[in-house]
Amino acid sequence: MALPVKTTQFLQQTGGISAFAGRFFKEAFKPRYEVAEFVRQCFVIGYKSLPLIGLTGFIMGLVLTMQLRPSLIEYGVESQLPAMVGIAIVREIGPVITALIFAGKIGSSIGAELGSMKVTEQIDAMEVSGTNPFKYLVVTRVLASTLMLPILVMLSDAISLYGSYLGVNIRGVTSFHLFYTQVFDSLEFGDVLPAFIKSFFFGFAVGIIGCYKGYFSNKGTEGVGQSANSAVVVSSIMIFVIDLVAVQITDVFNLN
Amino acid sequence: MEEQLAIQQTKTKNAGEMLVVNHLYKSFGSNAVLIDFNLTLGKGENLVVLGKSGSGKSVLIKCIIGLLEPDKGTIEMFGNNIPDLNHEELDKIRAKVGFLFQSNALYDSMTVRQNLEFPLRRHWIQVMQQEVDKLVQEALSDVGLAHTVNMMPAELSGGMRKRIALARTLILKPDIILYDEPTTGLDPVTGKEIIQLIVAIQKKYKSSSLIISHDMNCVRLAADRVVVLIDGRCYAEGTYEALRKSNDPKVKQFFE
User: Which pLDDT value is given to residue B125?
Assistant: 63
Question: Does the pLDDT value for residue B250 go beyond 60?
Answer: yes
User: Which pLDDT value is given to residue B3?
Assistant: 40
User: Which pLDDT value is given to residue A195?
Assistant: 93
Summarize pLDDT for A56-96 with one digit per residue, the tens: 999 999 999 999 999 999 998 888 999 999 999 999 999 99
- Indicate the residue of B101, B109, B118 with minimum beta-carbon distance to A121: B101
Summarize pLDDT for B17-67 with one digit per residue, the tens: 889 999 999 999 889 999 999 999 999 899 999 998 888 899 999 999 999
- Indicate the residue of A117, A121, A129 with minimum beta-carbon distance to B118: A129
pTM, 2 dp: 0.85
Name which of B69, B67, B54, B102 is nearest B211 in CA terms: B102
What percent of chain B is modeled with pLDDT above 70? 93
Mutate to test the interface with B, among A121, A135, A136, A140 (most CBs of B within 10 A): A121
User: Which pLDDT value is given to residue A144?
Assistant: 97
Chain A positions touching B109 (Cβ under 8 A) are 113
Which residue numbers of B have CB closer than 8 Å to A's CBs?
Answer: 62, 65, 67, 87, 91, 94-95, 97, 99, 101-109, 118-119, 122-123
Summarize pLDDT for B175-228 with one digit per residue, the tens: 999 999 999 888 888 888 899 989 988 888 889 999 999 889 899 999 999 999
CB atoms A130 and B101 under 8 Å? no
Residue A192's CB: how many other CB atoms inside 10 A? 15
- Indicate the residue of A113, A124, A131 with minimum beta-carbon distance to B105: A124
Taking each continuous run of H as one helix and of E as one strand, the counts in chain A are: 12, 0
What percent of chain B is modeled with pLDDT above 90? 51
User: Which pLDDT value is given to residue B14?
Assistant: 46
Residues (pLDDT < 50) of chain A are none
Chain A positions touching B104 (Cβ under 8 A) are 120
Name which of A100, A136, A137, A77 is nearest A232 in CA terms: A100
Helix axes A189-215 and A5-28, enclosed angle (nearest 10): 110
Q: B48 and B218 in contact (C-beta within 8 Å)? A: yes
User: Which pLDDT value is given to residue B131?
Assistant: 87
Range A228-231, long-range pairs (CB < 8 A, 24+ positions): A228/A108, A228/A109, A228/A111, A228/A112, A228/A115, A229/A108, A229/A111, A230/A111, A231/A103, A231/A107, A231/A108, A231/A110, A231/A111
Summarize pLDDT for B126-161 with one digit per residue, the tens: 778 888 899 999 999 988 898 999 999 999 998 899
Summarize pLDDT for B76-94 with one digit per residue, the tens: 998 899 999 988 889 889 9
Alpha carbon of A126: minimum distance to chain B alpha carbons (Å) = 8
Interface pTM, i.e. ipTM: 0.84
